[in-house]
Amino acid sequence: MGIVTPGFRGRPRSSGPDLPPGQYLTHDFPVLSAGPTPRVPMDRWEFVITTETSRAHRWTWADMMALPSETPTVDIHCVTKWSKLGTTWQGVSLDTLMSDVDTAADYALVQSYGGYTTNLPLTDLLDGQAWLAYKFDGEDLHPEHGGPARMLIPHLYFWKSAKWVRGIQLRFDNEPGFWETAGYHDYGDPWREQRYQGD
C-alpha cells in the first residue's frame, strides 16, 4: 500500500455481503468507453449468430421486437470496482435466440459495432443467464450505455456484457476478446475476483 494521504477518503463507497470482493457500491451509472460511440440506425441494425459451420441466423430490429421479452432485475459488477444493485432491463433471452441454432460449439465470441469483442463459454449464454437487452430502467437503452442493444450477462464482470452488440460467433476454440488479450481474465467471475489473467 502507498503512503496514506491524511483525510483523503475518495468517492463515498461501501462494501457489504451483497457485493463481490473488492467492489464498491455506486448509485449512478458510470459510462466507460474504449472508443467512439457507434450510432446504428434501427432500420439497418441486425443481430447475427454464426455457427461453427458458418451458418448465419439473422434478426432485424423488427424480428427481435417480435420475440418474447423478459425484464430481469440484476446486480452488475464492473471490473473497475463499482457495482450497481437491482438494475432493471428488458431484452430477449439468449435461450430464445439460440433455440433454433444447431451447434456443437463450446465457445462464443461476442462482436460489436465499432469493433469491440469479448469471449465466453457458450454455456454462460444459456439457461437464463444472458439477454440481448434494449431497455434499461424502462427507457430505450442510451447509446452511451450500449444502445440500441447490448449483451447483459450479469454473473460475469460487466466488460463481458458487450455494448452495441451486432452478433455472436460460435466456435470450437476460445478466441480471446478485446480486454482478454490485454491482461484481463478469460472468464471474469466477480465472486472469485477474476479480474486479471492469473487471478
Partner 1 sequence: MIEPRMDLGPHLDGNVLAGPLREIFAMDVTAATSRCASCGAVGAVAALHVYANAPGMVARCPTCEEVVLRMVRTPDAAWLDMRGTVSLRIPM
Partner 2 sequence: MARAAVPGRLTWRVAKLAEARTETPTARTLVLDVPGWPGHLAGQHVDVRLTAEDGYTAQRSYSIAAPADGDRIELTIQAVPEGEVSPYLIDVYGTGDPVEVRGPVGGWFVWRPTSMDPVLLVAGGSGIVPLMAMIRARRAAGSRIPFRLIYSVRTPGDVYYADELRRRARDDAGLDVTYAYTREVPEGWPNPPHRIGVADVNTNGWPPALTPDCYVCGPTGFVEAVADILVALGHDPRRVRTERFGPTGG
Q: Which residues bind partner 1 (CB under 8 A)?
A: 30-41, 44, 79-80, 113-115, 143-144, 159, 164, 179, 181-184, 195-197
Please tell me the distance from the alpha carbon of residue 51 to that of residue 108, in angstroms, as a whole number: 9
CA angle in degrees (0–180, nearest 5) for 196-147-169: 60
Residues that bind partner 2 (CB under 8 A): 1-11, 13, 30, 32, 78, 80
**Could you tell me the smallest distance in angstroms from the CB atom of residue 77 to partner 1?**
12
* Shortest Cβ 113–partner 1 spacing (Å): 5
Of 89 and 113, nearer to partner 1 (C-beta) is 113
Minimum distance, C-beta of residue 51 to partner 2, in the bound complex (Å): 34
Measured distance CA(160)–CA(155) in Å, rounded: 9
User: What whole-number distance in Å separates Cα of residue 38 and Cα of residue 67?
Assistant: 25
Distance CA 72, CA 136 (A): 10
Position of cell 454462460? 124
Residue 27 contact, options partner 2, partner 1, none, Cβ 5-8 Å cut-off depending on partner type = none
